[in-house]
């Protein structure tokens, strides 16, 4: 591996902090930018503390609170901010990248179009994150489950060499280079749109939520609408995680296929019963959600191809109402989604 590459990680939360820490642990030259000066000072003084399925580590890190404090050019920049913060942050890195720099979108949802509009398609790399992580407190992180990365260039021609980036991320988890990263991102977007929006409106963890038949039905409706959009976009959606096949789920011509779909969703709920919607966590902290980049993205693409997505549109509307304190988070909201149909 080329250890001379200068690497920048913007964001030191659950994903950014764990990824940066393990890249640094492997001896790479990486700098992290956090939102707060006290967090940067904490990391400079005590390092990033990582625990969980990969072991316990304390990793010294170079850390800053402002992009403007950085000098020189970086070969790889990971942007691990909230989706709605990505455009403003990415504009700030323009003085710090060169023609062959790679800028990696590590957001939930699909942000590669907006990123490419700032740094160019030839620099923009999409990334599907397949591991679980959480932040206990600033500078103290846990990796909760093993996984992988899937990366890919969005450039239509003259695609960059992603092997060095793959080698960097292999220090964290096995990394696959995809020839169609947009399809991979869309596959994750679908399951995120199911989990994050439903959790946000009802306030339940995934296991409790998917015990409710109405929630399971809405889950299926979100998937069907998203797959209708994919069909109009001529997009072949791969199974999420190599296992959750959306094409199988939406086959409902017989009672048996409908039963199997309900069973699969129930099993997902049992396996990840303690999973809490990221949007629900944001709402509980008084923050905005990333709903525009989940269900909102499906609605936007549906409008572009001229079809309707009433369930995703309704969920987008309801989460916005909760953000604006016009609607309370409650289980009864699930029935409102369907009754509005």
Domain that holds residue 191: 183-339
Q: Which residue, 179, 207, 234, sits at the end of a domain?
A: 179
Same domain flag for 147 and 291: no
In a domain? residue 170: yes
pTM comes to: 0.90
Q: How far apart are CA 150 and CA 134, in angstroms?
A: 20
pLDDT number for residue 341: 46
CA-wise closest residue to 43 among 133, 170, 135, 143: 135
pLDDT band at 340 (very low <50, low <70, confident <90, very high): low
In a domain? residue 204: yes
Average pLDDT of 195-224?
A: 92
Same domain flag for 212 and 288: yes
Q: Which residue, 179, 204, 232, sits at the end of a domain?
A: 179
In a domain? residue 1: no
pLDDT in tens, 283-331: 998 999 999 999 999 999 999 999 999 999 999 999 999 999 999 999 9
Give residue 325's region: left, alpha or beta (phi > 0; psi -120 to 50).
left
pLDDT number for residue 264: 78
- Name the residue with higher pLDDT: 134 or 33: 33
Same domain flag for 73 and 143: yes
Where residue 209 sits, what CATH number does that domain have? 1.10.1040.10
pLDDT number for residue 277: 86
Same domain flag for 81 and 220: no
Same domain flag for 68 and 154: yes
pLDDT for residue 68 is more than 60: yes
Same domain flag for 94 and 232: no
pLDDT number for residue 35: 87
Same domain flag for 207 and 58: no
Average pLDDT of 146-154?
A: 94
In a domain? residue 152: yes
Token readout for 200 is 């946000």
In a domain? residue 301: yes
In a domain? residue 201: yes
pLDDT for residue 281 is more than 90: no
Same domain flag for 119 and 245: no
pLDDT number for residue 336: 92
Q: Which residue, 147, 179, 211, sits at the end of a domain?
A: 179
Same domain flag for 159 and 40: yes
pLDDT in tens, 225-261: 999 999 999 999 999 878 888 998 888 767 677 777 7
In a domain? residue 147: yes
pLDDT number for residue 267: 77
3-state secondary structure the chain: CCCCCEEEEECCCHHHHHHHHHHHHCCCEEEEECCCHHHHHHHHHHCEEEEECCCCEEECCEEECCHHHCCCCEEEEEECCCHHHHHHHHHHCHHHEEEEEEEEECCCCCCHHHHHHHHCCCCEEEEEECCEEEEEECCEEEEEECCCEEEEECCCCCCCCCHHHHHHHCCCCCEEECCCHHHHHHHHHHHHHHHHHHHHHHCCCHHHHCCCHHHHHHHHHHHHHHHHHHHHCCCCCCCECCCECHHHHCCCCCHHHHHHHHHHHHHHHHHCCCCCCHHHHHHHCCCCCCHHHCHHHHHHHHHHHCCCCHHHHHHHHHHHHHHCCCCCCCCCHHHHHHHCC
Same domain flag for 145 and 240: no
The tokens 């790679």 sit on which residue?
A: 102
pLDDT number for residue 1: 62
Where residue 112 sits, what CATH number does that domain have? 3.40.50.720
pLDDT in tens, 161-207: 999 999 999 999 999 999 999 999 999 999 999 999 999 999 999 88
Q: How far apart are CA 9 and CA 16, in angstroms?
A: 7
In a domain? residue 334: yes
Total number of domains constituting the chain: 2
pLDDT number for residue 243: 82
Same domain flag for 124 and 243: no
Same domain flag for 200 and 301: yes
pLDDT in tens, 30-57: 999 998 899 999 999 999 999 999 999 9
């Amino acid at each position: 591996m080329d250890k001379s590459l200068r690497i920048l990680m913007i964001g030191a939360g659950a994903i950014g902090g764990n990824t940066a820490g393990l890249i640094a642990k492997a001896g790479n030259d990486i700098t992290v930018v956090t939102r707060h000066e006290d967090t940067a000072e904490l990391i400079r003084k005590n390092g990033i503390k990582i625990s969980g399925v990969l072991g316990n580590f304390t990793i010294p890190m170079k850390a800053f609170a402002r992009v403007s404090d950085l000098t020189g050019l970086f070969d790889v920049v990971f942007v691990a901010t909230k989706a709605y913060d990505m455009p403003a942050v990415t504009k700030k890195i323009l003085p710090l990248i060169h023609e062959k720099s790679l800028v990696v979108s590590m957001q939930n949802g699909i942000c590669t179009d907006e990123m490419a509009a700032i740094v160019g398609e030839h620099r923009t790399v999409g990334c599907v994150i397949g591991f679980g992580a959480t932040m206990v407190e600033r500078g103290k992180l846990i990796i909760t489950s093993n996984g992988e990365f899937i990366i890919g260039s969005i450039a239509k021609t003259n695609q960059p060499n992603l092997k060095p980036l793959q080698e960097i991320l292999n220090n964290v988890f096995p990394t696959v280079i995809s020839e169609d990263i947009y399809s991979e991102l869309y596959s994750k977007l679908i399951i995120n749109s199911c989990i994050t929006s439903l959790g946000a409106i009802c306030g339940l963890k995934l296991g409790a939520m998917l015990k409710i038949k109405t929630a399971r039905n809405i889950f299926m409706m979100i998937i069907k609408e998203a797959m209708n959009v994919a069909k109009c976009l001529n997009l072949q959606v791969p199974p999420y995680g190599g296992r959750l096949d959306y094409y199988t789920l939406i086959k409902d011509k017989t009672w048996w296929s409908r039963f199997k779909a309900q069973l699969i969703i129930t099993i997902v709920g049992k396996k990840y019963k303690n999973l809490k919607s990221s949007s629900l966590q944001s709402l509980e902290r008084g923050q905005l959600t990333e709903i525009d980049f989940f269900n909102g993205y499906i609605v936007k693409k549906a409008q572009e191809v001229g079809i309707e997505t009433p369930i995703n549109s309704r969920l987008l509307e309801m989460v916005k109402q909760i953000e604006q304190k016009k609607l309370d988070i409650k289980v009864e909201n699930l029935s409102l989604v369907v009754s509005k149909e």
